[in-house]
Amino acid sequence: MKKEYIMGNSAIALGALCSGVKLVAGYPGTPSTEIIETICKVPHKGVHLEWSVNEKAAMEVAAAGAYAGARTMVTMKQVGLNVASDPLMSLAYVGVRGGMVIVVADDPGPISSQTEQDTRRFASFCRIPVLDPSSPEEAFDMVKDAFVLSEKYHTPVILRPTTRVCHGYASISFDENYEAKDPSGFEKDSSKWVIFPKLSYNNHRLIEERLPVIAEDLSSYGYNRIIKDSKKSCKAVLASGISLAYVRECTSNLDLKVIGIASAFPLPKRFLLEALNGVDELICFEELSPFLEEELLKLCGEHQLKIRIKGKLTGDVPHSGELGVNKVQSILNKFLGRNDKSEGISFTEKIPDPPQRPPVLCAGCPHRGSFYAVKVATGRKKTYLCGDIGCYTLGNALPLDMVDTCLCMGAGITMAQGFNHLDKEAKSFAFIGDSTFFASGISGIVNAVYNEADITVCILDNATTAMTGHQPHPGTGFNLQGNYVDKIDIESVLKGIGVKKVMTVNPHDLKASVAAVKECMKVDGVKAIIFRAPCISIVKLKDKCRVMDKCSNCNICINKLGCPAMSLKNDKVVIDESLCVGCTLCAQLCPHKAIERIHHE
């Protein structure tokens, strides 16, 4: 056995490898990204590993592997499950042969997401069991349990870690001599694998009949347990996921019952009925939605239990945001009628606030030049500027102020169409990255061409998937297996689907970029500008920029670009060489030619 101190996402990855997983697919998204990256870094002979173009594709690739009897895993963040929901809903009806685990990382807070949605709702909606680990150690065990559960009931199983479980650390012992299990092979049977209405009707009935059986099975699951009992108090705390870890830290010296739930759906009713014996008042701690609280209310009503349930629905626990130990402690003190200041454990002095990092494009980011070129070219014209998910969302920050909307991946292109159909006088622009272009942008451009929209699509191509950690995509020329592959040429794709004009320009060349935007604006229909320059984090640039003595301190460079490498020191413009990468955008903008590029060997 090997013992390592590892991140929760790495624990999930190793748990899958130790379970004999044969195929893993996913799309990068914080807080789930490191699961696939861990498998890529450790020995994984015999395991097919891929970053798919989006979550839907990943789900379908993994489903096919499970049809063939292999153990497969697909990873994504919570909003990615929206993209994959189409195959997921049908897959719940069709079922699997090999174990299939769907890891969906929820993001309470949210730290890096556009929603605080709760995947347990999705599990209930699609009738798929969900396991909810409260620590990296549990995540390691539960991914193995999920494969077993999946194969036992021929259904995919969702593993739902949250950010603090994904990014927390723990010592994990594991057998490093893991091997991928060879699948038994696909057995053709159209009555099982082809989803016709009659099959859906029959399987829906079977699923509903099966859920109580799974719930009974999960009532004996070791991670559904009474953590702490009390013979004196009739008060109890029920928690799941990372909230259970917070509760455990706060209740070591308290006299009350603590109940941990690891399988939110289907609810382990027998276990809960036994655990609730003697309880007359209970508070639920769970992040995101009041899922367990609602299920408890239904259970108490069904069995006429006289238990007062408190939580989000009663206003005792906040509906939004993360909980944390201090917050749980304060709520518990109120629940127990304790003095919030004089009793309990205060963690405030032990945990410093994290440093504030304003969301801003990096110094030298090529996207800054792209946004600024459009800003200069459009001038005072009426515009609609539709952004997308990724680094380019940061174009909304002042002084650029170049993103009017941001809804979800790929929506920038289709929303620009909507604005254009309603307002022909304005110019509609869509900003999207190269990875996002492949994920969900292409279909939006096809829609624009087919429906005769007049928009300009700006593809900010920095040769990577930057915001999630520089994963490859079909335009980079290599894949996650480390193989060099044929690049999917964005220009050719655009021309092939009927885009009227396609131009490619270096966004660090301000004059050429502005000219390209102006030229495209003269063309009716769908046109595209590919602003192409690599992300500064994947290239080693030795050039820097320096402010010369003839600087007049007009501050145009600072006020127009907002580059974090530039600031005022003693009322003088200065450039921080530790941040500057010598993109020269500031030099091109300076009306006095007071900034020069210098080369460092």
Q: Determine whether the annotation assigns residue 590 to a binding site.
A: yes
Distance CA 586, CA 377 (A): 17
Q: Pairing relation of β-strands 23-26 and 48-51? A: parallel
- At 325, which helix (H) or strand (E)? helix 325-335
**CA-CA-CA-CA dihedral for 252, 257, 262, 263, to nearest 10:** -170
List of E strands, 359-399: 383-386
Q: Determine whether the annotation assigns residue 284 to a binding site.
A: no
What's the pLDDT at 342?
45
Q: Determine whether the annotation assigns residue 554 to a binding site.
A: yes
Beta partners for residue 531, in sequence order: 460, 505
List of E strands, 363-420: 383-386
Q: Determine whether the annotation assigns residue 18 to a binding site.
A: no
Sign of CA dihedral 80, 83, 84, 89: positive
What's the pLDDT at 359?
76
Q: Which two tokens stand for residue 354?
A: 């994290």
Cα 299 to Cα 145, 307, 309, 474: the distances in Å are 26, 10, 11, 49
Cis peptide before 43 (omega within 30 of 0): no
What's the pLDDT at 360?
85
- Within 10 angstroms of residue 281's Cβ, the number of other Cβ atoms is 15
For residue 136, give the amino acid letter: P
List, for the chain, all residue ranges whose pLDDT scores fall below the cut of 50: 342, 344
Residues 6+ away with beta carbon under 8 Å from 494: 445, 502, 528
Contact predicate 283/316, CB 8 Å: yes
Report DSSP letters for 85-101, one per residue: HHHHHHHHHH--SS-EE
Q: Determine whether the annotation assigns residue 458 to a binding site.
A: no
What's the pLDDT at 351?
63
Chain-centroid distance of CA 238 in Å reads 27
What's the pLDDT at 542?
79
Structural domains of the chain, ranges and CATH numbers in brackets? 2-219 (3.40.50.970), 225-336 (3.40.50.11610), 366-532 (3.40.50.970), 544-598 (3.30.70.20)
Q: Which two tokens stand for residue 26?
A: 């996913």
Q: Determine whether the annotation assigns residue 408 to a binding site.
A: no
Contact predicate 10/137, CB 8 Å: no
Chain-centroid distance of CA 38 in Å reads 17
| DSSP symbol at 394 | G
What order do you get walking across the sheet with 225-228 strand by strand?
Answer: 225-228, 257-261, 235-240, 281-285, 308-310
Q: Determine whether the annotation assigns residue 551 to a binding site.
A: yes
What's the pLDDT at 195?
87
Q: Which two tokens stand for residue 252?
A: 């070591």
User: Contacts from 106-109 at CB under 8 Å and sequence distance 24+?
Assistant: 106/77, 106/78, 106/160, 106/161, 106/162, 106/163, 106/287, 106/288, 107/30, 107/31, 107/77, 107/78, 107/162, 107/163, 108/162, 108/163, 108/287, 108/288, 108/321, 108/322, 108/323, 109/163, 109/321, 109/322
Q: Determine whether the annotation assigns residue 391 to a binding site.
A: no
Cα-only R_g, the chain: 27
